[in-house]
Amino acid sequence: MFETTIAGSLPKPFWLAEPGKLWPQWKAQGAELEAAKRDATVLVLKEQEDAGLDIVTDGEQSRQHFVHGFLEAVVGIDFDHKVKMGIRNNRYEAMVPQVTGALRLRSRVHRMEATLARAHTKKKLKITLPGPMTIVDTVADRYYGDRRSLAMAFADLLNDEARALQADGVDVLQFDEPAFNVYPDEVNDWGIAALERAAEGLSCTTAVHICYGYGIQANLDWKKSLGDEWRQYEQIFPALAKSSIKQVSLECANSHVPMELMSLLVNKDVLVGVIDVASDAIETPEQVADVIGKALDFVPRQRLLPCTNCGMAPMNREIALRKLNALVQGAALARTRHG
């Protein structure tokens, strides 16, 4: 009961990449960088095991950014001529690569970290991939002409990599779709179809993570504009409940998401965000257990997995580690309260 996991990313050590940044520069190059990525991956696995997490990840130590880490292995994308573009419905601007031709994978994307992690842990292993809609929202399209076609093209590539990751021994494949909270009409129109295409044929556990973004200032400002009740999930959960995706990861700690919206996720495992990644305040086990207790009004105990609200990539490492401990201790407390 209450298996614990994280959304996916963890802060990178200072010797791997610039700390505290969403798009950090690597600290090494070539073979030295590859070795540093491997070392960091083993390190964060050990730290998750020591904290007592039940489902561990590679911490996304090998990718500069959760979307661009995948795109770097795709042919048809021009990374040499990035352009400034408003993303997430113009919430903030980012330097994004351009889609300039038909898309195909140049090579495997996450084989190194998946096989390395598999060799170093007996715990359940989760690897994340960006979802098709979120990728489409983080590139400048100069070739496909419409977002649905581009999403389906990316979904094909994601499916190839997802099947290969499953063969590498990955237990959970999670697609990150923060864009789902921004474009509800498109989610219902083609977003979930593209997501299911990306997950087609997988027999391992599949998950989708839908959040209100990392704790960066643009997101904090956006959240302030959303009012007292954040009802974005209400528009997409009914369709998601009918999809083939098995788990849904959502934001709950310190958020204005009405808890009852989780009851829309009929028959899904719900990864309930009980750790706020936009605050450096360390949750107490009691706070974590309280959120779990409230969620239990709407999610059966056997389908509730305590999780972080979102990735921890831009956070301070020490704070992130203390939050992992709080997550595990809070879940243990919830087990004694509700077991």
Q: Tell me the C-alpha to C-alpha distance, in Å, between residue 154 and each of 132, 192, 306, 323, 337.
A: 6, 13, 30, 34, 44
Helix (H) or strand (E) holding 210: strand 205-210
CB of 277 to Zn ion, least distance (A): 8
Task: Tell me the closest approach of the beta carbon of residue 79 to Zn ion, in angstroms.
Answer: 23
Minimum Å gap between C-beta 268 and Zn ion is: 17
Q: Is 125 exposed, middle or buried (0-12, 13-18, 19+ CB in 10 A)?
A: buried
Residues 182-211 that bind Zn ion (CB under 5 A): 211
Give me the least distance between CB of 143 and Zn ion, in Å please.
Answer: 28
Task: Give the nearer residue to Zn ion in terms of CB position, either 56 or 211.
Answer: 211
Q: How far is the CB of 310 from Zn ion (least distance, A)?
A: 3
- Going by DSSP bridges, is the β-strand pair 92-105/74-87 parallel, antiparallel, or unpaired? antiparallel
Q: Specify the amino acid at residue 180.
A: F
Q: Cα 75–76–79 angle (5° rounding)?
A: 85
Strands 205-210 and 140-141, by their bridges, are unpaired
Integer Cα distance of 167 and 118 in angstroms: 11
Q: 36 vs 44, which CB is nearer to Zn ion?
A: 44
Measured from the CB atom, is 127 or 310 closer to Zn ion? Answer: 310
- List, in order, residues 6 or more apart from 29 with CB less than 8 Å away: none
Of 156 and 280, CB closest to Zn ion: 280
Nearer to Zn ion, 208 or 333 (CB): 208
Specify the residue, 71 or 333, whose C-beta has the smaller distance to Zn ion.
71
Q: How many chain residues are in contact with Zn ion, going by CB under 5 A?
A: 2
Identity at 34, one-letter amino acid code: E
Length of the chain: 339
Please state the closest distance from residue 291 (CB atom) to Zn ion, in A.
Answer: 17
- 197 vs 209 by CB, closer to Zn ion: 209
CA–CA gap between residue 219 and residue 278 (Å, rounded)? 9
CB of 178 to Zn ion, least distance (A): 5
Cβ-based nearer residue to Zn ion, 177 or 196: 177
What does the per-residue mask of binding to Zn ion show for 206-245, with x meaning CB under 5 A?
-----x----------------------------------
| CA 194/CA 212 separation, integer angstroms | 20
- Tell me which residues in 77-106 interact with Zn ion (CB under 5 A): none
CB of residue 212 vs Zn ion: minimum separation in angstroms?
8
67 binds Zn ion (CB under 5 A): no
Contacts to Zn ion from residues 267-326, by CB under 5 A: 310
Name residues whose C-beta falls within 8 Å of residue 146's C-beta, 6 or more positions apart in sequence.
none
Site residues (vs Zn ion, CB under 5 A): 211, 310
